Amino acid sequence: MKLRPSRLNTTATCSLATKAQELDSASAQFTTLTPAELQPNTPSRLAGKEFLPGSTGDGFPKVLSPPSETFPHAVRVETHSVDDCVVSCRRYLQENLPQYGAVLLRNLPLKTAADFSSLSQRLGYKGMTYQGGAVEREELDKTSGTYTASDEPPQAVIEHHNEMAYSPVYPSKLLFFCQQEPGEDCGGETPLVKSTDILSRLNPRVLQTFADKKVRYVRYAPPRGPGAYLPWQDVFMTEDPKTAEHFLQQKGFSFKWEPSGALVYWQVLPAFLKHPETGKTVWFNQIQSHHASHLQGMPRFKDSDLPNHHYSCQTYYGDGSEIEPAVLQHIRAITWSCAVGFPWRNGDVLVVDNLAVQHARMSFTGPRRILAMLSEN
Ligand SMILES: [Fe+2]
């Protein structure tokens, strides 16, 4: 196991104008972690896995691949305090995130949600609200935009997605913080996959179809009541229907209220974007994770007989036609085939370029607590 140190000289970066509390007392050292150091004892099984949509279908990989030499780019930060390393970390991320798409900072002395919120802000990230979001997560700090990564049941696998790709307003970066690492071989990885890898392996006809037709994202938000999943009051963080309508109008959604009091809303969005920093075309969507078949594969809907349009999320082609099951299976199989995962360690901070990289969540057993901050910049 060979470590390859890459020392970052921050001396030149410190200017007189820099806030005193953000001056590094010394240049923090970043030691690149090898794939062997990020490898799990046992790779997580994928093919045939329960509560993983598509896992019994064609082309599904047997296990989740370990990290490669460059993805994610992972470093151990040699430091004793956040004060000593925050400027170095900020520069390190600025220099490396565009190239790698995902950077893991290990060994940071963080313990609490407040530690993570503070670090995120000092790294220069601006948190955004999860108003209009598609999964259950708890807001921990309104000011910094810190949430639990997901409150979905631990048995469920959350499929790959670009965060909030179902909305015209989405985070540019994501920061994850491991406050409680899962036990060894207990799952709970946050798999990552690069847009470039997906695009190079998806069938060109599938890509062309989505380029032509785009994606129609439809949401169904019931009124609050017993057993209601993601009621509109929770989705829009309000009890006032007019506030929800205003939010939707501002974001360009069409909507209607059903006699039951459910709010249905939809919008057609591209399946691709042009990355504002690299200029590359990226695969940016939630085609499979927003599809009703994703929720149908979740434990909470195991024996449900809900019609498709009463699931909280649904995707179609932009013209309203159904996405063929074979196309969904192809996307799922290719995406999981290109994905990598690593075991979390306490104190890890993972910064992800939300446009260049999709993320997911493996199911897990035992304790695990990952926090997330959605950054607009
Ligand atoms: Fe997510």
Q: What is the DSSP string of 303-360?
A: T----GGGSSEEEEETTSPPPPHHHHHHHHHHHHHH-B-----TT-EEEEETTTEEEE
CA of 362 to the centre of ligand 1 (A): 12
Mean pLDDT value across residues 261-290: 96
CA of 318 to the centre of ligand 1 (A): 23
CA of 305 to the centre of ligand 1 (A): 26
- The reported pLDDT for the residue numbered 1 is 35
Mean pLDDT value across residues 189-200: 98
Instruction: Place 8 in a pLDDT band, splitting at 50, 70 and 90.
Output: very low
Model pTM greater than 0.85?
Answer: yes
CA of 137 to the centre of ligand 1 (A): 10
Mean pLDDT value across residues 198-209: 98
Q: Which of 113, 118, 125 is nearest to 179 (CA)?
A: 113
CA of 79 to the centre of ligand 1 (A): 29
Share of the chain above pLDDT 70, in %: 92
- The reported pLDDT for the residue numbered 64 is 98
CA of 96 to the centre of ligand 1 (A): 22
Cα separation of 100 and 111, whole Å?
A: 26
- The CA distances from residue 270 to 143, 165, 229, 298, in Å, are 31, 9, 27, 26
CA of 162 to the centre of ligand 1 (A): 7
CA of 372 to the centre of ligand 1 (A): 9
Mean pLDDT value across residues 102-128: 94
Q: Would the pLDDT of 58 be above 70?
A: yes
- Alpha-helical regions (H) of 69-192: 82-100, 113-122
- The CA distances from residue 343 to 253, 347, 359, in Å, are 38, 12, 14
The residues, any chain, with a CB within 8 Å of residue 186's CB and separated by 6 or more, are 364, 365, 366, 368
CB 145 within 8 A of CB 127: yes
- The reported pLDDT for the residue numbered 6 is 40
In order of their start, the domains of the chain are: 25-33+43-200+341-375 (3.60.130.10), 201-332 (3.60.130.10)
Q: Which of 45, 53, 73 is nearest to 194 (CA)?
A: 73
- The reported pLDDT for the residue numbered 231 is 92
Instruction: Count each helix (H run) and each strand (E run) in the chain, helices first.
Output: 9, 18
Mean pLDDT value across residues 120-124: 95
Q: Would the pLDDT of 106 be above 50?
A: yes
Mean pLDDT value across residues 331-336: 98
- The reported pLDDT for the residue numbered 28 is 67
CA of 263 to the centre of ligand 1 (A): 23
Q: Would the pLDDT of 49 be above 60?
A: yes
Q: Would the pLDDT of 142 be above 80?
A: no
- The reported pLDDT for the residue numbered 134 is 65
pLDDT digits (tens, 9 = 90+) for 144-156: 778 888 878 899 9
Q: Would the pLDDT of 94 be above 70?
A: yes
CA of 286 to the centre of ligand 1 (A): 10
CA of 299 to the centre of ligand 1 (A): 18
CA of 135 to the centre of ligand 1 (A): 8
Give the lowest-confidence range in 24-38, 57-71, 151-165, 347-361. 24-38
The mean pLDDT value of the chain amounts to 90
- The reported pLDDT for the residue numbered 24 is 45
CA of 4 to the centre of ligand 1 (A): 31
Share of the chain above pLDDT 90, in %: 76
pLDDT digits (tens, 9 = 90+) for 257-272: 999 999 999 999 999 9
Give the lowest-confidence range in 41-50, 105-114, 206-215, 305-314. 305-314
- The reported pLDDT for the residue numbered 147 is 87
Q: Would the pLDDT of 27 be above 60?
A: no
pLDDT digits (tens, 9 = 90+) for 215-250: 999 999 999 988 788 899 988 989 999 999 999 999
Q: Which residue has the tokens 């490669």?
A: 68
